[in-house]
Amino acid sequence: MGSVASKAFRNALPLVWPGARVAEAPDSIRLDKWLWHARFFKSRSLAAAAVRGPLRLNGKSVSKPAQQVRPGDVVTFTQSDRVRVIRMLAPGHRRGPAPEAQALFEDLGPAPAADAPTPQARRGKRPTGKDRRDFDAARPSWLE
């Protein structure tokens, strides 16, 4: 019977066979994990769902979230109403703060339109009865 100390020592040793290669810093990462690290999506499951949708990696359609991506790869996907074209610069090791996430990619897509209307806060309060009558009078009769 072995002692408790020898079991703890055995469990602390890494399980690597002699002659096996151990990668120190991976140069590739799963696509869904990288999209999450780069803060394009709030959760990894949302990133995986986006990969199953219309997404291209280096111009080829991808449907599996486990697809490996490497620095220099170009990822094209839709995010809300924008088409994003992104070049991967680094794989990333964690989901860090925004400045760290922005260092993982280069945005190749067009800048968002400056003349796009921004949502305005509603002015005033609830519509009055007169406002409703005016609206009803202006509404076409075929809608009724």
Rounded Cα distance between 106 and 4, Å, is: 52
Tens digit of each residue's pLDDT (9 = 90 or more) over 4-19: 555 555 555 555 566 6
CATH of the domain at 60: 3.10.290.10
In a domain, 121, yes or no: no
Tens digit of each residue's pLDDT (9 = 90 or more) over 42-68: 999 999 998 888 899 999 999 899 999
In a domain, 29, yes or no: yes
In a domain, 55, yes or no: yes
In a domain, 64, yes or no: yes
Q: Read off the pTM.
A: 0.61
Cβ(62)–Cβ(69) below 8 Å: no
Instruction: Report the number of distinct structural domains present in the chain.
Output: 1
Q: Which range, of 83-97, 98-112, 130-144, averages the lowest pLDDT?
A: 130-144
